[in-house]
Amino acid sequence: MIKLENISKKYNSKGKQIIGVDDVTLTVEAGEVFGIVGYSGAGKSTLLRCINLLEKPTSGKVFVDGVNLHELSPKDLRKARQSIGMIFQGFHLVSSKTVFENVAFALRAAGADKKQIKLRVEELLALVGLEDRRDQYPAQLSGGQKQRVSIARALANQPKILLCDEATSALDPGTTKSILSLLKKINRELGLTIVVITHEMEVVKEICSRCAVMQDGKVVEQGSTYDIFSDPANPLTVSFIQTVLNFDLPKELLEEINGKLVRLQFKGSIAAEAVVSDMLQAFPIRGNILHGKVEYIQSKPLGIFIMELNGNEAEVNKAIAYLRDKVSKVEVLDDGTRNRHLA
Amino acid sequence: MMERVIAILPELNQAFLETLLMVSIALAVAILIGLPFGILLFVTDRGLFLENVLVKRVAGLVINLIRSVPFVILLVFLLPFTQFLLNTTIGPLAASVSLSVAAIPFYARIVESSARDIDKGVIEAAIAVGASPWMIIKSIILPEVKPGLITGLTITAISLIGYSAMAGTIGGGGIGDLAIRYGYYRYDNTIMFTTVIVLIVLVQVVQYLGDLVARVVSKR
Ligand SMILES: Nc1ncnc2c1ncn2[C@@H]1O[C@H](COP(=O)(O)OP(=O)(O)O)[C@@H](O)[C@H]1O
Ligand SMILES: [Mg+2]
């Protein structure tokens, strides 16, 4: 659906060259929700804006639905943009227009007539749950409601793609959840391809089937969200994952531990408790679960347990080897010597 | 003293109407030409959807040229042009030529600067839905800038009232002319004060109306 080939964007600012995006090649498949994560300044917005040519890349090609956007005339580019909706962190609604007029504007831009506009806007406001707000001005709405209006505007011309630039970053956690589930619904029911930019891994976990991690204008890692969460390769990805899968154990607890500290990761539907209890049956050691958590990433479970293993060193090592065989990942966080530290 | 004022009343009335006429014509021209000019300055700026360095530079230069000439000099400088245009340099109509020329760049700059206050993201969102430049100007920029346009018009009107007094001194008529003729040449302080009071009231009324309308159209 979207193909970016060797996209670079450089800015000249006071004689200095700033690299916004550095040679990014990406493909987003039709119907998927694709996430782009990275810290502020990584080049995410710049890259996203290249998809509808709000930003003209310094080099590289953008294909949307098989069409090379650079080859379009200004008029055809405007037409193409009508099939690429976009929403923003700051909503960007027209303050002098009502909710109805804000959404209607997108339809007028596409040349719809008055009657069509009225029907379509009402349909859209029902979709985003704002039927009763049609005559209010943006200043009278909450952040979540404003984002709903901007989603309605973005969907007005029945686009195939929706680009979201930090669409939930200005919202509180509860509102974020409701906007994310609206995006999920749009993806599922209307079959829209969605590209989501965020600095919150929580958002990726919630709605993206695949994602890319960006740093200094480059994509440093990409893959299915589940794989990224279960087997992150890049240190930056690891630090992002930890914002969701965070296991800080209390210092006092760590000081009392004198066995080996291991972190077990279970993928999919493996019964974690069963594996652990089998292991304790098979080896003459004591085990103590300090932390356990199952995250659902794209509704597939990813279980993480932190255990203390006590006993004869050789038996403990054998137990760890046994575990390595059964579960997707075993990490020895601390081998029983002093001065432990957990990431 | 009162009878002095009453005696002058018909003349005062006429002067008042002349001032109103001059200022209204110049304001109309400011809206007709200054407003589009201001929008042009804005949309051809760097990073905007009709970015055009050449147009922006030339338009900016013309405006700065006119604005850097003090109004009294502009008044004299434009006399041949007024003569050519109206076949006379006397009367409120003639005075409104130079007032209009001064009002255009004045208002254009005000329009430009209030347009700059529009959130760039709002314009970008309009580009992203595939709106044409004309639609963006008509349906986004103009409505968003409306309170600024009205405030700007108030400021322009008040400046023009001041300028019109200067225009009056070289035969333009209006309240300024009256003040000079009686107050300056004949040392008639009563008339002088009366004109000052009329001007103060006029400016207050314009300001009040301008603020009122700006408040009503503002939706922020
Ligand atoms: N118009 C611009 N002019 C100059 N530099 C820019 C411009 N837009 C973005 N940049 C730079 O490009 C880099 C990437 O910015 P951006 O894409 O906004 O990052 P992100 O969205 O990931 O926070 C930053 O270093 C930023 O300063
Ligand atoms: Mg950004």
Sign of CA dihedral B100, B55, B141, B64: negative
pLDDT digits (tens, 9 = 90+) for B29-65: 999 999 999 999 999 998 899 999 999 999 999 999 9
C-alpha–C-alpha distance, residues A38 and A236, integer Å:
9
Q: If interface means Cβ-Cβ distance under 8 Å, which residues of chain B face chain A?
A: 119, 121-122, 124-132, 135, 139-140, 143-144, 146, 217, 219-220
Structure token digits, residue A39: 């810290």
pLDDT in the model for residue B168: 84
Using one digit for the tens of pLDDT, what is the confidence trace for A276-323? 888 888 888 888 888 888 888 888 888 888 888 888 888 888 888 888
User: What pLDDT sits at residue B50?
Assistant: 92
Domain CATH number, residue B133: 1.10.3720.10
Contact (CB, 8 A) for B98 and B126: no
Q: Look at chain B and report how many structural domains it folds into.
A: 1
Residue B54 C-alpha, separation from nearest chain A C-alpha, in angstroms? 20
Sketch the domain layout of chain A as residue ranges.
Answer: 2-242, 251-334
Structure tokens at B31: 């809206």
- Selecting from A81, A95, A96 the residue whose C-beta is nearest the C-beta of B128 gives A81
The label of the residue with tokens 């994509």 reads A219
Name the token pair of B166. Answer: 């200067």
Cβ(A8)–Cβ(A58) under 8 Å? yes
Residues B74 and B66: beta-carbon distance below 8 Å? yes
- When scoring B46, B51, B119, B129 by the number of chain A Cβ atoms within 10 A, the one with the most, hence best to mutate, is B129
Cα–Cα distance, B96 to B108 (Å, whole number): 18
Q: Calculate how close chain A gets to B89, using CA atoms only, in Å.
A: 44
The reported pLDDT for the residue numbered B144 is 93
Q: Please identify which residue in the block is written with the tokens 């038996």.
A: A315
Q: Other C-beta atoms within 10 Å of A66: how many? A: 7
Cα B35 to Cα B41: distance, rounded to the nearest angstrom: 10
- Token readout for A126 is 């029902």
| Res A336: pLDDT | 67
CATH of A2-242, picked from 2.80.10.50, 3.40.50.300, 1.10.3720.10, 1.25.40.10, is 3.40.50.300
Range of the domain at B24: 2-217
Measured in angstroms, how far is the CA atom of residue A218 from the centroid of ligand 1?
A: 13
Q: For position A258, what pLDDT does the model report?
A: 79
pTM of the model: 0.88
Query: What are the pLDDT tens digits along chain B (220 aa)?
Result: 778 778 888 988 999 999 999 999 999 999 999 999 999 999 999 889 999 999 999 999 999 999 999 999 999 999 999 999 999 988 899 999 999 999 999 999 999 999 999 999 999 999 999 999 999 999 999 999 999 999 999 999 999 999 998 888 888 889 888 888 888 888 888 888 888 899 999 999 999 999 999 898 886 5
Residues 6+ apart with CB under 8 A from A343: A242
Q: Is any ligand 1 atom within 6 A of the Cβ of residue A259?
A: no
Q: How many CB atoms lie within 10 A of CB A296?
A: 10
What gap in Å lies between CA A219 and CA A214, rounded to an integer? Answer: 4
Residues of chain A with pLDDT under 50: 338-343
Cα dihedral across residues A27, A11, A93, B48: positive or negative = negative
Residues 6+ apart with CB under 8 A from B181: none
Give the other-Cβ count within 10 Å of B185's Cβ.
Answer: 8
Instruction: Report the 3 state secondary structure along chain A.
Output: CEEEEEEEEEEEECCEEEEEEEEEEEEECCCCEEEEECCCCCCHHHHHHHHCCCCCCCEEEEEECCEEHHHCCHHHHHHHHHCEEEEECCCCCCCCCCHHHHHHHHHHHCCCCHHHHHHHHHHHHHHCCCHHHCCCCHHHCCHHHHHHHHHHHHHCCCCCEEEEECCCCCCCHHHHHHHHHHHHHHHHHHCCEEEEEECCHHHHHHHCCEEEEEECCEEEEEEEHHHHHHCCCCHHHHHHHHCCCCCCCCHHHHHHCCCEEEEEEEECCCCHHHHHHHHHHHCCCEEEEEEEEEEEECCEEEEEEEEEEECCHHHHHHHHHHHHHHCCEEEEEECCCCCCCCC
Q: A251-334 adopts what CATH topology?
A: Alpha-Beta Plaits (3.30.70)
Determine the distance from the C-alpha atom of residue A191 to the mean position of all C-alpha atoms in its chain, rounded to a whole number. Answer: 18
ipTM of the complex: 0.85
Can you read off the two tokens belonging to residue A232? 């992150």
User: How confident is the model at residue B220, as a pLDDT?
Assistant: 59
Residues of A with CB under 8 A from a CB of B: 52, 54, 78-82, 84-86, 88, 90, 92-97, 105-106, 108-110, 137, 139, 150, 153-154, 156-157
Question: Distance, in angstroms, between A5 CA and closest chain B CA?
Answer: 21
